[in-house]
Structure 1
Amino acid sequence: MIRGTAHLAVYDTFADWETGHTTAHLTRNGFAVRTVGLTTTPVTSMGGLTVRPDLALTELRPEDSALLVLPGATQWDAGDELAPFARTARAFLDAGVPVAAICGATAGLAREGLLDDRAHTSAASFYLAATGYAGGAHYTDADAVTDRDLITAGPTEPVAFAREVFGRLGVYDEKKLDAWYRLFHDSDASAYEVLQG
Protein backbone atom coordinates (compact mmCIF):
# COMPACT_ATOMS: atom_id res chain seq x y z
CA MET A 1 0.00 0.00 0.00
CA ILE A 2 1.42 3.37 -1.05
CA ARG A 3 1.54 5.87 1.80
CA GLY A 4 2.10 8.81 -0.53
CA THR A 5 4.39 10.08 -3.25
CA ALA A 6 7.61 11.95 -2.60
CA HIS A 7 8.92 14.01 -5.49
CA LEU A 8 12.67 14.31 -5.95
CA ALA A 9 13.85 17.23 -8.07
CA VAL A 10 16.59 16.27 -10.51
CA TYR A 11 18.69 18.58 -12.67
CA ASP A 12 22.17 18.53 -14.13
CA THR A 13 24.85 18.25 -11.42
CA PHE A 14 22.34 17.39 -8.67
CA ALA A 15 24.22 15.99 -5.69
CA ASP A 16 23.01 12.40 -5.77
CA TRP A 17 24.50 11.40 -2.40
CA GLU A 18 22.58 14.06 -0.47
CA THR A 19 19.18 12.42 -0.83
CA GLY A 20 20.04 8.72 -1.05
CA HIS A 21 19.12 7.85 2.54
CA THR A 22 15.91 9.85 2.22
CA THR A 23 14.64 8.26 -0.97
CA ALA A 24 15.79 4.71 -0.17
CA HIS A 25 14.12 4.57 3.22
CA LEU A 26 10.96 6.33 2.06
CA THR A 27 10.64 3.65 -0.63
CA ARG A 28 11.29 0.87 1.89
CA ASN A 29 8.53 2.29 4.07
CA GLY A 30 5.73 2.48 1.54
CA PHE A 31 6.26 5.77 -0.26
CA ALA A 32 6.58 6.06 -4.02
CA VAL A 33 9.45 8.26 -5.18
CA ARG A 34 9.10 10.05 -8.51
CA THR A 35 11.69 12.29 -10.12
CA VAL A 36 10.84 15.76 -11.43
CA GLY A 37 12.91 17.73 -13.93
CA LEU A 38 12.48 21.06 -15.63
CA THR A 39 11.48 18.82 -18.55
CA THR A 40 11.58 15.05 -19.03
CA THR A 41 14.94 15.31 -20.82
CA PRO A 42 17.57 13.15 -19.06
CA VAL A 43 19.89 14.88 -16.61
CA THR A 44 23.28 13.88 -15.24
CA SER A 45 24.01 13.93 -11.51
CA MET A 46 27.23 15.18 -9.96
CA GLY A 47 28.18 11.53 -9.56
CA GLY A 48 27.72 10.87 -13.29
CA LEU A 49 24.38 9.05 -13.09
CA THR A 50 21.91 9.68 -15.90
CA VAL A 51 18.31 10.10 -14.75
CA ARG A 52 15.26 10.50 -16.96
CA PRO A 53 12.70 12.53 -14.94
CA ASP A 54 9.33 10.87 -14.44
CA LEU A 55 7.57 14.17 -14.99
CA ALA A 56 8.21 17.79 -15.89
CA LEU A 57 7.97 20.49 -13.24
CA THR A 58 4.92 22.02 -14.95
CA GLU A 59 3.05 18.75 -14.30
CA LEU A 60 3.76 18.72 -10.55
CA ARG A 61 0.92 19.74 -8.23
CA PRO A 62 1.19 19.97 -4.43
CA GLU A 63 -2.06 18.06 -3.96
CA ASP A 64 -0.48 15.03 -5.67
CA SER A 65 2.53 14.97 -3.38
CA ALA A 66 3.54 14.22 0.20
CA LEU A 67 6.92 15.95 -0.12
CA LEU A 68 9.18 17.87 -2.50
CA VAL A 69 12.91 17.15 -2.09
CA LEU A 70 15.44 19.61 -3.51
CA PRO A 71 19.07 18.44 -3.61
CA GLY A 72 22.06 20.68 -4.08
CA ALA A 73 23.61 21.34 -7.50
CA THR A 74 26.14 23.76 -8.92
CA GLN A 75 23.29 25.41 -10.90
CA TRP A 76 21.79 26.83 -7.71
CA ASP A 77 24.72 29.27 -7.62
CA ALA A 78 25.13 29.75 -11.36
CA GLY A 79 22.11 31.82 -12.36
CA ASP A 80 18.34 31.48 -12.36
CA GLU A 81 17.94 28.17 -14.20
CA LEU A 82 16.63 26.39 -11.10
CA ALA A 83 14.48 29.28 -9.83
CA PRO A 84 11.31 27.50 -11.06
CA PHE A 85 11.96 24.81 -8.43
CA ALA A 86 12.11 27.46 -5.69
CA ARG A 87 8.84 28.94 -6.95
CA THR A 88 7.32 25.46 -6.86
CA ALA A 89 8.59 25.08 -3.29
CA ARG A 90 6.65 28.24 -2.43
CA ALA A 91 3.47 26.73 -3.91
CA PHE A 92 4.03 23.54 -1.88
CA LEU A 93 4.55 25.43 1.36
CA ASP A 94 1.52 27.63 0.68
CA ALA A 95 -0.50 24.42 0.23
CA GLY A 96 0.83 22.90 3.47
CA VAL A 97 2.94 20.25 1.70
CA PRO A 98 6.45 19.75 3.11
CA VAL A 99 9.60 20.79 1.26
CA ALA A 100 13.06 19.44 2.11
CA ALA A 101 16.09 21.35 0.77
CA ILE A 102 19.73 20.50 1.24
CA CYS A 103 22.99 22.24 0.32
CA GLY A 104 22.70 24.69 -2.60
CA ALA A 105 18.93 24.30 -2.75
CA THR A 106 18.76 26.28 0.49
CA ALA A 107 20.29 29.23 -1.36
CA GLY A 108 17.59 28.94 -4.00
CA LEU A 109 14.93 29.06 -1.29
CA ALA A 110 16.69 32.02 0.33
CA ARG A 111 16.55 33.94 -2.97
CA GLU A 112 12.83 33.12 -3.20
CA GLY A 113 12.28 34.60 0.30
CA LEU A 114 11.24 31.29 1.83
CA LEU A 115 13.83 31.45 4.63
CA ASP A 116 13.06 35.02 5.69
CA ASP A 117 10.73 34.01 8.52
CA ARG A 118 11.62 30.37 9.20
CA ALA A 119 14.37 28.77 11.26
CA HIS A 120 16.79 27.14 8.82
CA THR A 121 20.32 25.95 8.20
CA SER A 122 22.66 25.41 5.27
CA ALA A 123 26.35 24.91 4.55
CA ALA A 124 27.24 28.09 6.50
CA SER A 125 25.54 31.34 7.45
CA PHE A 126 27.80 33.40 5.17
CA TYR A 127 26.83 31.20 2.21
CA LEU A 128 23.19 32.19 2.57
CA ALA A 129 24.09 35.79 3.47
CA ALA A 130 25.69 36.09 0.02
CA THR A 131 22.22 35.66 -1.53
CA GLY A 132 21.12 38.96 0.04
CA TYR A 133 18.20 37.31 1.79
CA ALA A 134 16.48 38.82 4.82
CA GLY A 135 16.44 35.71 7.02
CA GLY A 136 19.88 35.81 8.60
CA ALA A 137 18.44 36.21 12.10
CA HIS A 138 16.71 32.83 11.68
CA TYR A 139 19.86 30.94 10.67
CA THR A 140 20.51 28.01 13.03
CA ASP A 141 23.88 26.31 13.30
CA ALA A 142 22.58 22.74 13.31
CA ASP A 143 22.85 19.56 11.24
CA ALA A 144 19.29 19.91 9.98
CA VAL A 145 16.33 22.11 10.90
CA THR A 146 12.57 21.73 10.53
CA ASP A 147 10.34 24.79 10.81
CA ARG A 148 6.71 24.13 10.01
CA ASP A 149 6.75 22.37 6.65
CA LEU A 150 10.29 23.31 5.62
CA ILE A 151 13.32 21.10 6.24
CA THR A 152 16.84 22.39 5.55
CA ALA A 153 20.31 20.88 5.91
CA GLY A 154 23.89 21.48 4.86
CA PRO A 155 25.76 19.32 2.34
CA THR A 156 27.55 17.20 4.94
CA GLU A 157 24.36 16.07 6.69
CA PRO A 158 22.39 13.67 4.46
CA VAL A 159 21.57 11.42 7.43
CA ALA A 160 20.26 14.24 9.62
CA PHE A 161 18.34 15.52 6.59
CA ALA A 162 16.67 12.12 6.15
CA ARG A 163 15.87 11.95 9.87
CA GLU A 164 13.99 15.25 9.67
CA VAL A 165 12.04 14.06 6.61
CA PHE A 166 11.10 10.81 8.34
CA GLY A 167 10.01 12.67 11.45
CA ARG A 168 7.87 15.11 9.48
CA LEU A 169 6.19 12.35 7.43
CA GLY A 170 5.76 9.95 10.36
CA VAL A 171 7.79 7.23 8.65
CA TYR A 172 9.01 5.85 12.01
CA ASP A 173 7.75 6.28 15.54
CA GLU A 174 10.02 8.26 17.87
CA LYS A 175 11.88 5.22 19.20
CA LYS A 176 12.61 3.79 15.75
CA LEU A 177 13.53 7.19 14.36
CA ASP A 178 16.13 7.59 17.09
CA ALA A 179 17.41 4.07 16.37
CA TRP A 180 17.57 4.74 12.62
CA TYR A 181 19.66 7.84 13.22
CA ARG A 182 21.97 6.09 15.69
CA LEU A 183 22.52 3.26 13.20
CA PHE A 184 23.19 5.33 10.10
CA HIS A 185 24.86 8.37 11.68
CA ASP A 186 26.68 6.91 14.66
CA SER A 187 27.21 3.31 13.43
CA ASP A 188 25.57 2.09 16.64
CA ALA A 189 24.96 -1.59 15.90
CA SER A 190 22.63 -1.95 18.91
CA ALA A 191 20.13 0.28 17.09
CA TYR A 192 19.60 -2.37 14.41
CA GLU A 193 17.61 -4.62 16.76
CA VAL A 194 15.31 -1.71 17.67
CA LEU A 195 14.64 -1.05 13.99
CA GLN A 196 13.78 -4.70 13.37
CA GLY A 197 11.42 -4.89 16.36
Structure 2
Amino acid sequence: MTGTTTRGTVHLAVYDTFADWETGHATAWLSRGGYGTRTVGPTTAPVTTMGGMRVVPDLALADLNPADSALLILTGADLWETGDDLAPFATAARRFLGAGVPVAAICGATAGLAREGLLDDRAHTSAVPGYLAATGYRGGAHYVEADAVTDGGLITAGPTEPVAFAREVLAQLGVYEGEKLDAWYRLFHHSDAAAYAVLDS
Protein backbone atom coordinates (compact mmCIF):
# COMPACT_ATOMS: atom_id res chain seq x y z
CA MET A 1 0.00 0.00 0.00
CA THR A 2 3.06 2.26 0.13
CA GLY A 3 2.55 5.42 -1.90
CA THR A 4 -1.11 4.68 -2.65
CA THR A 5 -3.75 6.99 -1.21
CA THR A 6 -6.75 4.85 -0.36
CA ARG A 7 -7.84 5.84 3.12
CA GLY A 8 -8.30 9.60 2.96
CA THR A 9 -6.38 12.83 3.29
CA VAL A 10 -4.53 14.22 6.28
CA HIS A 11 -3.99 17.99 6.41
CA LEU A 12 -0.69 19.28 7.74
CA ALA A 13 -0.60 22.94 8.74
CA VAL A 14 2.52 24.77 7.57
CA TYR A 15 3.58 28.30 8.44
CA ASP A 16 6.76 30.29 8.89
CA THR A 17 9.05 28.82 11.59
CA PHE A 18 7.21 25.47 11.32
CA ALA A 19 9.17 22.92 13.40
CA ASP A 20 10.27 20.49 10.68
CA TRP A 21 11.22 17.53 12.89
CA GLU A 22 7.94 17.19 14.74
CA THR A 23 5.84 15.48 12.08
CA GLY A 24 8.21 13.42 9.95
CA HIS A 25 7.44 10.09 11.59
CA ALA A 26 3.70 10.73 11.51
CA THR A 27 3.41 11.83 7.89
CA ALA A 28 5.81 9.19 6.54
CA TRP A 29 3.98 6.31 8.18
CA LEU A 30 0.56 7.72 7.39
CA SER A 31 1.64 7.69 3.75
CA ARG A 32 2.81 4.09 4.04
CA GLY A 33 -0.54 3.28 5.62
CA GLY A 34 -2.53 4.63 2.69
CA TYR A 35 -3.20 8.25 3.66
CA GLY A 36 -2.38 11.22 1.50
CA THR A 37 -1.05 14.45 3.03
CA ARG A 38 -1.89 17.96 1.87
CA THR A 39 -0.24 21.03 3.34
CA VAL A 40 -2.32 23.99 4.51
CA GLY A 41 -0.86 27.45 4.89
CA PRO A 42 -2.24 30.82 5.98
CA THR A 43 -2.42 31.43 2.23
CA THR A 44 -0.86 29.55 -0.68
CA ALA A 45 2.24 31.76 -0.50
CA PRO A 46 5.46 29.88 0.32
CA VAL A 47 6.47 29.54 3.96
CA THR A 48 9.90 28.87 5.47
CA THR A 49 10.32 26.20 8.12
CA MET A 50 12.51 26.48 11.20
CA GLY A 51 15.07 24.38 9.33
CA GLY A 52 15.12 26.85 6.46
CA MET A 53 13.15 24.75 3.97
CA ARG A 54 10.72 26.48 1.62
CA VAL A 55 7.26 24.90 1.44
CA VAL A 56 4.49 25.89 -0.96
CA PRO A 57 1.14 25.02 0.69
CA ASP A 58 -1.33 22.94 -1.28
CA LEU A 59 -4.22 25.08 -0.11
CA ALA A 60 -5.03 28.10 2.02
CA LEU A 61 -6.58 27.77 5.46
CA ALA A 62 -9.70 29.58 4.26
CA ASP A 63 -10.33 26.70 1.84
CA LEU A 64 -9.89 23.91 4.40
CA ASN A 65 -13.05 21.90 5.07
CA PRO A 66 -13.18 19.28 7.85
CA ALA A 67 -15.43 17.16 5.64
CA ASP A 68 -12.50 16.67 3.26
CA SER A 69 -10.08 15.56 5.96
CA ALA A 70 -9.24 12.57 8.14
CA LEU A 71 -7.03 14.59 10.52
CA LEU A 72 -5.55 18.06 11.05
CA ILE A 73 -1.95 18.20 12.29
CA LEU A 74 -0.61 21.35 13.96
CA THR A 75 3.08 21.65 14.79
CA GLY A 76 5.15 23.97 16.87
CA ALA A 77 6.48 27.26 15.50
CA ASP A 78 7.99 30.42 16.96
CA LEU A 79 4.91 32.25 15.69
CA TRP A 80 2.72 30.58 18.34
CA GLU A 81 4.66 32.66 20.89
CA THR A 82 4.99 36.00 19.15
CA GLY A 83 1.43 37.08 18.41
CA ASP A 84 -1.90 35.96 17.04
CA ASP A 85 -0.82 35.11 13.48
CA LEU A 86 -1.56 31.41 13.99
CA ALA A 87 -4.76 31.82 16.01
CA PRO A 88 -6.86 31.01 12.90
CA PHE A 89 -5.33 27.52 12.91
CA ALA A 90 -6.54 26.99 16.49
CA THR A 91 -9.98 28.19 15.38
CA ALA A 92 -9.84 25.65 12.56
CA ALA A 93 -9.01 22.96 15.12
CA ARG A 94 -12.21 23.87 16.96
CA ARG A 95 -14.17 23.44 13.73
CA PHE A 96 -12.55 20.06 13.09
CA LEU A 97 -13.29 18.74 16.56
CA GLY A 98 -16.84 20.06 16.35
CA ALA A 99 -17.27 18.12 13.11
CA GLY A 100 -15.92 14.94 14.68
CA VAL A 101 -12.60 15.06 12.80
CA PRO A 102 -9.52 14.51 14.97
CA VAL A 103 -6.76 17.05 15.56
CA ALA A 104 -3.15 16.40 16.55
CA ALA A 105 -1.10 19.22 18.12
CA ILE A 106 2.52 19.16 19.24
CA CYS A 107 4.82 21.66 20.94
CA GLY A 108 3.73 25.31 20.58
CA ALA A 109 0.50 24.32 18.88
CA THR A 110 -0.71 23.05 22.26
CA ALA A 111 -0.45 26.61 23.58
CA GLY A 112 -2.54 27.80 20.66
CA LEU A 113 -5.21 25.25 21.49
CA ALA A 114 -5.05 26.23 25.15
CA ARG A 115 -5.72 29.87 24.24
CA GLU A 116 -8.64 28.70 22.10
CA GLY A 117 -10.12 26.90 25.12
CA LEU A 118 -9.82 23.45 23.57
CA LEU A 119 -7.81 22.01 26.47
CA ASP A 120 -10.07 23.25 29.25
CA ASP A 121 -12.05 20.02 29.47
CA ARG A 122 -9.79 17.41 27.83
CA ALA A 123 -6.88 15.41 29.13
CA HIS A 124 -3.74 16.78 27.45
CA THR A 125 -0.02 17.30 27.69
CA SER A 126 2.63 19.69 26.41
CA ALA A 127 6.21 20.68 27.21
CA VAL A 128 5.57 21.36 30.92
CA PRO A 129 2.46 22.44 32.86
CA GLY A 130 3.78 25.97 33.32
CA TYR A 131 4.05 26.50 29.59
CA LEU A 132 0.31 26.11 29.18
CA ALA A 133 -0.49 27.85 32.46
CA ALA A 134 1.14 30.98 31.02
CA THR A 135 -1.63 31.12 28.41
CA GLY A 136 -4.22 31.72 31.14
CA TYR A 137 -6.19 28.65 30.17
CA ARG A 138 -8.50 26.83 32.61
CA GLY A 139 -7.49 23.25 31.90
CA GLY A 140 -4.61 22.80 34.33
CA ALA A 141 -6.47 20.08 36.24
CA HIS A 142 -6.54 17.99 33.06
CA TYR A 143 -2.81 18.18 32.37
CA VAL A 144 -1.17 14.74 32.19
CA GLU A 145 2.56 14.08 32.64
CA ALA A 146 2.94 11.81 29.62
CA ASP A 147 4.81 11.75 26.33
CA ALA A 148 1.57 12.08 24.35
CA VAL A 149 -2.14 12.06 25.23
CA THR A 150 -5.31 11.39 23.24
CA ASP A 151 -8.72 12.50 24.49
CA GLY A 152 -11.92 13.07 22.57
CA GLY A 153 -10.26 13.06 19.16
CA LEU A 154 -7.53 15.49 20.27
CA ILE A 155 -3.88 14.39 20.41
CA THR A 156 -1.30 16.48 22.24
CA ALA A 157 2.43 16.05 22.78
CA GLY A 158 5.46 18.01 23.91
CA PRO A 159 8.30 19.16 21.64
CA THR A 160 10.64 16.28 22.49
CA GLU A 161 8.15 13.54 21.62
CA PRO A 162 7.68 13.32 17.82
CA VAL A 163 7.71 9.50 17.93
CA ALA A 164 5.10 9.27 20.68
CA PHE A 165 3.08 11.90 18.82
CA ALA A 166 3.22 9.75 15.68
CA ARG A 167 2.23 6.67 17.69
CA GLU A 168 -0.98 8.40 18.77
CA VAL A 169 -1.69 9.62 15.24
CA LEU A 170 -1.17 6.15 13.77
CA ALA A 171 -3.45 4.66 16.42
CA GLN A 172 -6.12 7.31 15.88
CA LEU A 173 -6.31 6.58 12.16
CA GLY A 174 -5.96 2.82 12.47
CA VAL A 175 -2.63 2.48 10.66
CA TYR A 176 -1.34 0.28 13.49
CA GLU A 177 -2.93 -1.12 16.63
CA GLY A 178 -2.15 -3.55 19.41
CA GLU A 179 1.13 -5.45 19.12
CA LYS A 180 2.09 -3.80 15.85
CA LEU A 181 1.60 -0.31 17.24
CA ASP A 182 3.70 -1.23 20.26
CA ALA A 183 6.37 -2.74 18.01
CA TRP A 184 6.47 0.37 15.83
CA TYR A 185 7.01 2.53 18.92
CA ARG A 186 9.66 0.22 20.34
CA LEU A 187 11.52 0.27 17.04
CA PHE A 188 11.59 4.03 16.54
CA HIS A 189 11.69 5.21 20.15
CA HIS A 190 13.80 2.51 21.78
CA SER A 191 15.75 1.18 18.76
CA ASP A 192 14.49 -2.31 19.62
CA ALA A 193 15.51 -4.46 16.65
CA ALA A 194 13.28 -7.29 17.85
CA ALA A 195 10.30 -5.16 16.88
CA TYR A 196 11.05 -5.70 13.17
CA ALA A 197 9.74 -9.25 13.33
CA VAL A 198 6.40 -8.08 14.72
CA LEU A 199 6.01 -5.33 12.14
CA ASP A 200 6.77 -7.73 9.29
CA SER A 201 4.41 -10.44 10.51
Q: TM-score range by the shorter chain?
A: over 0.9
State how many pairs are aligned: 197
**1:77 aligned partner:** 81
Q: 2:128 aligns with which of 124, 139, 162?
A: 124
**1:4 aligned partner:** 8
Alignment of 1:84-95 (within 5 A): 84-95=88-99
> Structure 2: 5+ residue runs without aligned partners?
none
**2:103 aligned partner:** 99
One-letter identity of the residue aligned with 1:171:
V
* TM-score between the two structures when normalised by the length of structure 1: 0.99
- How far apart, CA to CA, are the structure 2 residues paired with 1:33 and 1:150? 18
**2:158 aligned partner:** 154
Could you report, residue by residue, the CA deviation over 1:39-71 in whole angstroms, capped at 9, with x for unpaired residues?
000001101111000000011000100000000
- How far apart, CA to CA, are the structure 2 residues paired with 1:73 and 1:62? 23
**1:42 aligned partner:** 46
- How far apart, CA to CA, are the structure 2 residues paired with 1:111 and 1:16? 23
1:182 aligns with 2:186: yes
Could you report, residue by residue, the CA deviation over 1:90-142 in whole angstroms, capped at 9, with x for unpaired residues?
00000000000000000000000000000000000000000000000000010
State the superposition RMSD in angstroms.
0.6
**1:63 aligned partner:** 67
Q: 1:167 aligns with which of 164, 171, 183?
A: 171
Aligned-residue offset at 1:187: 0.2
Aligned-residue offset at 1:172: 1.1
Secondary structure of 1:69's aligned partner = strand
* TM-score between the two structures when normalised by the length of structure 2: 0.97
- How far apart, CA to CA, are the structure 1 residues paired with 2:84 and 2:162? 25
One-letter identity of the residue aligned with 1:48:
G
- How far apart, CA to CA, are the structure 1 residues paired with 2:157 and 2:22? 10
- How far apart, CA to CA, are the structure 1 residues paired with 2:80 and 2:163? 22
One-letter identity of the residue aligned with 1:128:
L
1:195 aligns with 2:196: no
Aligned-residue offset at 1:2: 1.4
Aligned-residue offset at 1:154: 0.1
Secondary structure of 2:166's aligned partner = helix
| Mean CA deviation greater in 1-10 or 128-137 | 1-10
- How far apart, CA to CA, are the structure 1 residues paired with 2:58 and 2:178? 32
Secondary structure of 2:28's aligned partner = helix
Secondary structure of 1:145's aligned partner = strand
Q: 2:142 aligns with which of 131, 138, 142?
A: 138
One-letter identity of the residue aligned with 1:97:
V
- How far apart, CA to CA, are the structure 2 residues paired with 1:54 and 1:195? 32
Secondary structure of 1:86's aligned partner = helix
